[in-house]
C-alpha cells in the first residue's frame, strides 16, 4: 500500500518541498493517517559540517536526559527546539535538534579505533536503547528527517517544511499492517548518511536483525523497515561495497539465474555476494527508495510485488510509487522508466562538482 516519492537535483540546487508535497499527497489513498514523513538533504547549510541529531521524547524530562548524555559524549555546537505548528496535531512528542561534533580520539572516552561516523553511530544506538521514551531518529550531516503520525499534508504542515529547502527530498505515506503506527515507526528511517522509505514487508526481519546485532547495531524502532537503513550503512560505509553491489546483496538474483551466468568475474562476484551476505538478504514483497550523500537509488524485490517508477528531466530525477506522482513533480518529463524486478535504478553525483550520472541501472 504505502506511497513513496523522491526527487534529486544533480547539481545540488536546493528547493522548497512544494513539489514533493504534491507528489506524496496525490498518494493519500496509499496511507491510513497513521504515519508519514519527509527527509531533506541540504537542510542545514549553516551547520553542514556537524551531525544534526533529531530527537523525539515523550516528555521534557526525556529531552533533559538526552541533552545531558550528548554533553557528556559530544561537543554541542548548537541546540534548539524543532519548530512545529500545533494547529492540526496536538498530541505529539517533544522535538529538539542538536548540531554536534564528536570529540577528538582520547577525549570523552572516545577510542582511537572509532571514526567519527562509528563513534556517532555507537552513541546514537546507546541513547535509543538505554534512554526510555527518547529516540534519535535522524543523525546525518546536513540532513533532516521529519516524520510522525498523520497524513503527509498534516506532517508537512506540522513541521513547517515550507521553511526548509534541499537538493534531495524523500517522502512517504504509511499504511502500517503488522507493526504499530507511532511517531518513531513512521518513515523515513535514517542512520548517518542513509535514509530510506519502504513499501511492503521485510519477512526476513528476524534474520536481518540478528545479523546486524553481530556488528553492534541495535534495532529499537519496532518496525521491519528499520533494518534496511542499517544494512545500507553496514554494506556501503563500513564494508565499502559499491551501491550496485549493496543492491545485489539486498535483492540478489535467484540461484537458477546465477547458475545460468557464463563463467567469469560476474558469476564469481554474484556467488561471493550471495554466500558472504546471505543473512543480509531482504525477503518479502518490497520497494525501497534510498537517499545518501552521493545520490539516490530504488530497489524492488525479485518478483516486483510493489511498484516503482522513475522519471528525469534536465538536472532532476524523480521517483514514485505511481507514474501520476512523477508528473506532479514535473509535467514535461524527458524520460520515464519502470525498473524490472530486482533491478536497482541508481542516481549518483560526484561530490566535487555535484554532477550526476543520468539514470542508470545495475541489472542482475
pLDDT tens digits along 94-130: 999 999 999 999 998 888 889 999 999 999 999 999 9
Give me the DSSP letters along 69-83: HHHHHSEEEEEEEPP
Average pLDDT of the chain to the nearest whole number: 93
Residue 290 sits in a domain whose CATH number is: 3.60.20.10
Report pTM: 0.94
pLDDT tens-digit profile of 311-363?
999 999 999 999 999 999 999 999 999 999 999 999 987 544 444 454 555 43
| Closest to 5 measured CA to CA, from 237, 308, 218, 248 | 308
Residue 34 burial (C-beta neighbours within 10 Å; 0-12, 13-18, 19+) = middle
Rounded Cα distance between 188 and 159, Å, is 14
Between CA 122 and CA 173, with CA 40 as vertex, the angle to 5 degrees is: 95
Give domain status of residue 75, yes or no.
no
The residue count for the chain: 364
**What's the grid cell of residue 116?**
567519527
pLDDT tens-digit profile of 123-169?
999 999 999 999 999 999 999 999 999 999 999 999 999 999 999 99
Element at 232 (helix H, strand E)? helix 226-232
- Of the candidates 1, 2, 67, 78, the residue annotated as catalytic is 2
Domain range enclosing 274 = 3-43+142-353
List of residues 6+ apart from 169 with CB closer than 8 A:
5, 6, 7, 8, 17, 19, 20, 38, 39, 40, 41
Give domain status of residue 271, yes or no.
yes
**What's the grid cell of residue 327?**
508528473
| Closest to 119 measured CA to CA, from 128, 131, 110 | 110
Give domain status of residue 306, yes or no.
yes
pLDDT at 357: 52
pLDDT above 90 as % of the chain: 82
Rounded Cα distance between 166 and 232, Å, is 22
Residue 2 among the catalytic residues: yes
Give domain status of residue 48, yes or no.
no
**What's the grid cell of residue 22?**
504534491
pLDDT at 350: 56
Rounded Cα distance between 310 and 288, Å, is 13
**pLDDT at residue 4 greater than cutoff 50:** yes
**pLDDT at residue 36 greater than cutoff 60:** yes
Give domain status of residue 220, yes or no.
yes
Give domain status of residue 22, yes or no.
yes
Rounded Cα distance between 37 and 70, Å, is 25
Give domain status of residue 237, yes or no.
yes
Q: How many domains does the chain have?
A: 1
Give domain status of residue 76, yes or no.
no
Amino acid at each position: 500500500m504505502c506511497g513513496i516519492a523522491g526527487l534529486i537535483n544533480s547539481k545540488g540546487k536546493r528547493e522548497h518541498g512544494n513539489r514533493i508535497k504534491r507528489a506524496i499527497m496525490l498518494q493519500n489513498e496509499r496511507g491510513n493517517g497513521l504515519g508519514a514523513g519527509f527527509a531533506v538533504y541540504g537542510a542545514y547549510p549553516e551547520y553542514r559540517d556537524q551531525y544534526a541529531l533529531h530527537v523525539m521524547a515523550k516528555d521534557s524530562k526525556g529531552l533533559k536526559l538526552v541533552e545531558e548524555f550528548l554533553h557528556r559524549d559530544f561537543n554541542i555546537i548548537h541546540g534548539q527546539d524543532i519548530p512545529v505548528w500545533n494547529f492540526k496535531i496536538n498530541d505529539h512528542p517533544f522535538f529538539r535538534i542538536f548540531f554536534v561534533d564528536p570529540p577528538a580520539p582520547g577525549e570523552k572516552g572516545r577510542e582511537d579505533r572509532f571514526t567519527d561516523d562509528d563513534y556517532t553511530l555507537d552513541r546514537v544506538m546507546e541513547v535509543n536503547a538505554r534512554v526510555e521514551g527518547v529516540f534519535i531518529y535522524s543523525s546525518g550531516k546536513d540532513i533532516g528527517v521529519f516524520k510522525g503520525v498523520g497524513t503527509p499534508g498534516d506532517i508537512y504542515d506540522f513541521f513547517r517544511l515550507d521553511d526548509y529547502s534541499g537538493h534531495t527530498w524523500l517522502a512517504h505515506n504509511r499504511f502500517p499492517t503488522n507493526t504499530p503506527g507511532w511517531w518513531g515507526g513512521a518513515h523515513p528511517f535514517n542512520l548517518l548518511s542513509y535514509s530510506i522509505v519502504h513499501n511492503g514487508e521485510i519477512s526476513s526481519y528476524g534474520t536481518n536483525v540478528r545479523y546486524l546485532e553481530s556488528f553492534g547495531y541495535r534495532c529499537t524502532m519496532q518496525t521491519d523497515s528499520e533494518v534496511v537503513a542499517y544494512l545500507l550503512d553496514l554494506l556501503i560505509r563500513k564494508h565499502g561495497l559499491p551501491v550496485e553491489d549493496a543492491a545485489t546483496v539486498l535483492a540478489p538474483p535467484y540461484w537458477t539465474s546465477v547458475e545460468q551466468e557464463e563463467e567469469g568475474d560476474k558469476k564469481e562476484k554474484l556467488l561471493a555476494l550471495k554466500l558472504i551476505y546471505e543473512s543480509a538478504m531482504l525477503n518479502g514483497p518490497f520497494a525501497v527508495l534510498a537517499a545518501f550523500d552521493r545520490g539516490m537509488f530504488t530497489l524492488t524485490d525479485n518478483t516486483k510485488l510493489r511498484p516503482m517508477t522513475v522519471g528525469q528531466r534536465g538536472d532532476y530525477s524523480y521517483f514514485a510509487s505511481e507514474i501520476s506522482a512523477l508528473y506532479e513533480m514535473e509535467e514535461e518529463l524527458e524520460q520515464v522508466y519502470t525498473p524490472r524486478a530486482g533491478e536497482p535504478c541508481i542516481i549518483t553525483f560526484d561530490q566535487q562538482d555535484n554532477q550526476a550520472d543520468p539514470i542508470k541501472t545495475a541489472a542482475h
